[in-house]
Amino acid sequence: MNREDLLSQMNDRSREVFQRIVESYLASGDPVGSRTLTRTLSESVSAATIRNVMQDLELLGLLDSPHVSAGRIPTQAGLRMFVDGLLEMDEVTIHDREKLDATLGSNDRDVGVMLDHIGSALSGLTHGASLVLTPKHEAPIKHIEFVSLAADRALVVLVFADGHVENRVFVPPMGQTPSSMREAANFLNAVAVGATISELRGRIQKEIKARRQELDVLAQDLVKTGLAVWENEGEQTERLIVRGRANLIEDADDSEALDRVRALFDDLERKRDIAEFLELTDAGDGVRIFIGSENKLFSLSGSSLVVSPYMNSDRKIIGAVGVIGPTRLNYGRIVPIVNYTAQMVGKLISDGG
């Protein structure tokens, strides 16, 4: 039986007991006992009756008994059913809006710096760790140049049509000469000008095959190496900003939880799965919630992730914002905040061209 059918077949008492337990757990993190529930339920029932209901919910896999406690907490399946069927969303408060809007008040024109400020504000408001995936630069390329710095270091300079300039240091293939660097730059300027970085791969590989005889072998190697540098996820083309790690440490209430947080930090530091963060939003526009092991990117830590994509003026997904924290996040408050932040970032990117 799926979660929707299970929820629809629960009677009013079972549904209310379940909802009260989850809401109390999300607020305090503590197990909830039958005597506590007798004081909050809408109908007057005995503690023994409530214990029977709790036992039934436990048999359905929605509640669990931690250690020897007489109270119950929701399981991951229970949290998922609550989020999908019973969660009531709050409005974003004026205070929260003002805190987020204030990050746009600086005179800094650098989008990366602005997104850094937004990430810090998001972390501060939600008391979790904020994640912001910055967009790739998608303006057409105007000019490309290679500059030799040393035998084992070179610089590729990309000038975009909107005036943006990026300099990237890389290790060139062995044996490069000033002549091969000029040849590689001339080739790239002939085929890449007017294209965006994301459009380059197919175009360049096709042109290398078609003009293999014209292009020196050294120059071919340099073009391919330069292309790999431009598309290197986790570097300047695509960057994950993480703020508020300390909030997760504060929430770790035992050594096991702290170990899970450390595992999460390791995942964030490696950033090698950064592309998967954006893939989590591929189901479409809007906020998605991943609870515990549902979250393939940070599954080792058993954390929850609330994530939303943001779009440019063409309604193309170009990045994402999210909040990660313990499974007992205040989903009703955090989901609208993440949604508001994603819309704000999308507008910032669109207005900035």
Contacts of 245 (CB under 8 A, 6+ apart): 129, 265, 268
**Amino acid letter at 17?**
V
Shared-domain flag, residues 335 and 262: yes
The mean per-residue pLDDT over the stretch 302-323 comes to 85
**Across all residues in the chain, what is the average pLDDT?**
81
Span between the terminal Cα atoms of the chain, in Å: 49
pLDDT on residue 281: 65
41, 65: one domain: yes
Report CA torsion sign: 337, 343, 344, 346. positive
Please indicate, yes or no, whether residues 241 and 228 belong to a single structural domain of this protein: no
Same domain? 181 vs 107? no
What is the edge-to-edge ordering of all strands in the sheet holding 288-290?
Answer: 239-243, 129-134, 317-325, 304-311, 288-290
**CATH label of the domain that carries residue 197:** 3.30.390
**pLDDT band, very low/low/confident/very high, at 125 (cuts 50, 70, 90):** very high
Mean pLDDT, rounded, for 99-122: 82
pLDDT over 60 (residue 108): no
Average of pLDDT values for 257-285? Answer: 64
**Cβ distance 146 to 184 under 8 Å?**
yes
For residue 344, give the DSSP letter. H
Q: pLDDT tens digit string along 43-91?
A: 888 889 999 999 999 999 999 988 766 789 999 999 999 999 999 999 9
Tens digit of each residue's pLDDT (9 = 90 or more) over 4-44: 677 777 888 999 999 999 999 998 888 999 888 988 888 88
340 and 241 part of one domain: yes
Task: Looking at mean pLDDT, say which of 234-243, 245-254, 337-346 comes out highest.
Answer: 337-346
Residue among 343, 198, 350, 353 at smallest CA distance from 285? 343
CATH number at residue 66: 1.10.10.10
Judgement on whether residues 78 and 102 belong to the same structural domain of the protein: no
Sheet with 141-150, side-by-side order of all strands: 141-150, 153-160, 165-170
DSSP state of 39: T
Q: Which of 106-110, 246-250, 316-320 has the highest mean pLDDT?
A: 316-320
* Backbone angle region of 320, left / alpha / beta, with phi > 0 → left and psi within -120 to 50 → alpha: beta
Instruction: Answer whether 230's CB lies under 8 Å from 236's CB.
Output: no
pLDDT of residue 328: 85
Same domain membership, residue 226 and residue 124 = no
Q: Are residues 348 and 333 in the same domain?
A: yes
Residue 336's pLDDT is what?
Answer: 96
Determine the Cα–Cα distance for residues 135 and 349; give it in Å rounded to an integer.
Answer: 9
Q: What are the Cα distances from residue 49, in Å, to 10, 43, 46, 63, 306?
A: 15, 12, 5, 16, 36
**Structural domain ending residue among the three candidates 177, 207, 232:** 232
What pLDDT score was predicted for residue 238? 47
Residues 177 and 59 in one domain: no
Range of the domain at 55: 3-86
Is 242 found in the same domain as 228? no
**Cα 270 from chain centre:** 14
Final residue belonging to a domain, choices 232, 254, 285? 232
Question: What CATH code is carried by the domain that includes residue 310?
Answer: 3.30.450.40
Q: Who has greater pLDDT, 309 or 240?
A: 309
Query: Is residue 235 predicted with pLDDT exceeding 50?
Result: no
Q: H or E segment at 227?
A: helix 217-230
pLDDT at 301: 64
254 and 343 together in one domain: yes
Q: Are residues 262 and 302 in the same domain?
A: yes
Q: Where are the alpha helices (DSSP H) in 109-216?
A: 111-126, 178-192, 197-210
Most confident by average pLDDT, 61-75, 211-225, 283-297 = 61-75
Most confident of 50-54, 168-172, 233-237, 242-246: 50-54
Domain end residue (candidates: 232, 254, 275): 232
Q: How many domains does the chain have?
A: 3
Confidence of residue 282 (pLDDT cuts 50, 70, 90): low
Q: What is the pLDDT of residue 167?
A: 78
